[in-house]
């Protein structure tokens, strides 16, 4: 029996979703299992979960003196982990949105010097303080909608100074905001206009100047390891160029991620397997044999249905096939100012059910425990298990399926981050 009363007790949840998964990410049929406890409770001491179970048992073990939150009639679950975002940037691209509605394609806008380059210009010009304050508002809205951990990429600098400024912005936001940020270096997001036609030279800049700067500035001492990502796509980086960047990152001890098969299949997913990437992201056009490779690997497939939705395109990643073949699948917003300005994981879950054939339960697994494994935090967040960080949500819904069944309203009533009520 416990001798000290926990600081906080969330009890009487109609459904408590523990997502307990001590074996690693969930895959195949296990992706539909939520660890559901009826009349569930969680006890929290400091920033950690100390007990999870039936309310009667948890309350009896707690004694008196704990602050209580009554979740009667509601759903309690871990906070969402958003494992693929470009949340840190300056400016916006509302005018391009309107151009696209009039018929211009995303790759045409990019070829004309717009797209990512538009945000690169704004981010290069903005001060560190401006980038931080603009990005902080997005994090506030993400937290209010239940996201407690966010992966955040660079990639709107595309020169050494601005890439470092973005990493500094991510570090400052992580230190000062309730949401935890996990940084990813994405120097290979696009080929900047000043390197047009000289992609290999730009890759050399990334490998020979930016990556040594990461080491010199101390960003490689990060835990989990700093991730390195590359946009492997026609009009961005070839498989060979992506391999050069990611191999160097691997040599430096960085974790690896890749944007693969968003519009075309170049072999980026196979490259992720070859190099042992922690995740391969997008996978809208991945061929069957590369999906089989993914299913046989430890790499998490991160699917981003907000992006085709944002572009009003009909082609989504074949999630049903990817899960049925046995791959571990996660969901993310891909929050970015061009293709998907979406801060809501529940909205992504709603899309995943309707356009990718996922079940409501699978979308919850993909947004919590599997998403945590996609950023090497699977043993720290993403489930309600003893010893894990006390990041949890009280949802004002009677059943977990309401999360993806309903959309467009915020169903999150309370957000608890590291044991503190923050929203």
CB of 41 to Zn ion, least distance (A): 38
CB of 72 to Zn ion, least distance (A): 40
CB of 304 to Zn ion, least distance (A): 7
Q: Which of 96, 334 has the CB closer to Zn ion?
A: 334
What are the beta bridge partners of residue 69?
10
CB of 8 to Zn ion, least distance (A): 35
Task: Assess contact for 37 and 48: CB atoms under 8 A.
Answer: no
What are the beta bridge partners of residue 406?
none
Q: Which of 68, 239 has the CB closer to Zn ion?
A: 239
Using CB under 5 A, which residues numbered 328 to 347 contact Zn ion?
334
The site for Zn ion, by CB under 5 A, has a size of 1
CB of 335 to Zn ion, least distance (A): 9
Task: Assess contact for 238 and 266: CB atoms under 8 A.
Answer: yes
The closest residue (CB) to Zn ion is 334
Binding to Zn ion by CB under 5 A, coded x per residue (else -) over 208-247, reads ----------------------------------------
CB of 252 to Zn ion, least distance (A): 22
Q: Which of 39, 334 has the CB closer to Zn ion?
A: 334
Q: Which of 7, 334 has the CB closer to Zn ion?
A: 334
Where are the alpha helices (H) located in 16-159, listed in sequence order? 55-62, 94-101, 106-111, 116-125, 128-144
Q: Which of 232, 415 has the CB closer to Zn ion?
A: 232
Tell me which residue has tokens 């394609």. Answer: 105
CA torsion 336-190-351-317 (nearest 10°) is -170
CB of 58 to Zn ion, least distance (A): 40
Q: How far apart are CA 153 and CA 132, in angstroms?
A: 14
Q: Which of 238, 279 has the CB closer to Zn ion?
A: 279
Tell me which residue has tokens 């991730």. Answer: 227
Using CB under 5 A, which residues numbered 99 to 128 contact Zn ion?
none
Task: Assess contact for 159 and 189: CB atoms under 8 A.
Answer: no
Element (H, E) at 186: strand 180-188
CB of 259 to Zn ion, least distance (A): 5
Q: Nearest Cα to 179, choosing from 147, 138, 154?
A: 147
Q: Which of 18, 242 has the CB closer to Zn ion?
A: 242
Using CB under 5 A, which residues numbered 176 to 205 contact Zn ion?
none
Q: Which of 334, 391 has the CB closer to Zn ion?
A: 334
Q: How far apart are CA 272 and CA 260, in angstroms?
A: 9
> Would you tell me how many other CB atoms lie within 10 Å of the CB of residue 159?
18
Q: Which of 151, 180 has the CB closer to Zn ion?
A: 151
The residues, ordered by sequence, that sit 6+ positions from 337 with a Cβ below 8 Å of its Cβ are 86, 89, 91, 92, 93, 119
Task: Assess contact for 51 and 16: CB atoms under 8 A.
Answer: no
CB of 214 to Zn ion, least distance (A): 19
The phi and psi torsions of 202 (rounded to 5 degrees) equal: -65, -40
The residues, ordered by sequence, that sit 6+ positions from 257 with a Cβ below 8 Å of its Cβ are 84, 184, 227, 228, 229, 277, 278, 279, 280, 281
The phi and psi torsions of 421 (rounded to 5 degrees) equal: -75, 120
Q: How far apart are CA 159 and CA 178, in angstroms?
A: 29
Quick one: the chain helix, strand, coil %, rounded to 5? 40, 20, 40
Q: Which of 87, 132 has the CB closer to Zn ion?
A: 87
Using CB under 5 A, which residues numbered 280 to 339 contact Zn ion?
334
Q: Which of 59, 258 has the CB closer to Zn ion?
A: 258
CB of 267 to Zn ion, least distance (A): 18
CB of 281 to Zn ion, least distance (A): 6
Q: Which residues bind Zn ion (CB under 5 A)?
A: 334
């Amino acid at each position: 029996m416990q001798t000290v009363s926990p600081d906080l007790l969330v009890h009487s949840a109609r459904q408590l979703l523990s997502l307990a998964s001590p074996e690693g990410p969930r895959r195949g049929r296990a992706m539909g299992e939520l660890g559901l406890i009826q009349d569930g409770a969680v006890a929290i001491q400091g920033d950690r979960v100390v007990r999870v179970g039936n309310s009667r048992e948890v309350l009896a073990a707690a004694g008196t003196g704990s602050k209580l939150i009554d979740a009667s009639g509601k759903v309690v679950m871990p906070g969402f982990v958003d494992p693929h975002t470009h949340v840190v940037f300056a400016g916006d691209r509302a005018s391009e949105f309107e151009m696209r509605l009039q018929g211009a394609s995303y790759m045409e806008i990019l070829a004309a010097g717009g797209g990512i380059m538009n945000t690169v210009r704004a981010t290069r010009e903005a001060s560190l303080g401006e980038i931080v304050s603009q990005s902080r508002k997005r994090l506030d809205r993400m937290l209010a909608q239940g996201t407690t951990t966010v992966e955040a990429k660079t990639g709107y600098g595309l020169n050494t100074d601005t890439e470092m400024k973005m990493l500094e912005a991510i570090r400052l936001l992580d230190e000062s905001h309730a949401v935890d940020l996990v940084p990813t270096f994405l120097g290979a997001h696009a080929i900047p206009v000043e390197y047009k036609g000289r992609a290999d030279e730009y890759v050399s800049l990334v490998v020979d100047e930016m990556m040594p700067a990461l080491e010199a500035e101390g960003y490689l001492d990060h835990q989990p390891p700093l991730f390195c990502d590359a946009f492997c796509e026609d009009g961005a980086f070839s498989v060979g160029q992506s391999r050069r960047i990611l191999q160097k990152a691997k040599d430096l001890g960085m974790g690896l991620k890749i944007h693969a098969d968003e519009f075309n299949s170049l072999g980026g997913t196979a490259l992720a397997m070859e190099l042992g990437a922690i995740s391969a992201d997008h996978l809208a056009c991945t061929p069957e044999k590369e999906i089989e490779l993914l299913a046989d690997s430890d790499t998490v497939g991160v699917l981003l249905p907000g992006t085709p939705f944002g572009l009003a395109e009909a082609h989504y990643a074949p999630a049903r096939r990817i899960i049925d073949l046995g791959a571990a699948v996660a969901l993310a917003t891909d929050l970015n100012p061009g293709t998907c300005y979406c801060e809501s994981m529940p909205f992504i879950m709603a899309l995943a059910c309707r356009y990718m054939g996922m079940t409501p339960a699978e979308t919850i697994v993909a947004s919590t425990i599997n998403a945590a494994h996609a950023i090497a935090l699977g043993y720290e967040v993403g489930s309600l298990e003893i010893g894990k960080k006390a990041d949890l949500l009280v949802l004002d819904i009677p059943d977990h399926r309401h999360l993806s069944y309903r959309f467009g309203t915020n169903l999150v009533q309370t957000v608890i981050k590291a044991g503190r009520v923050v929203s």
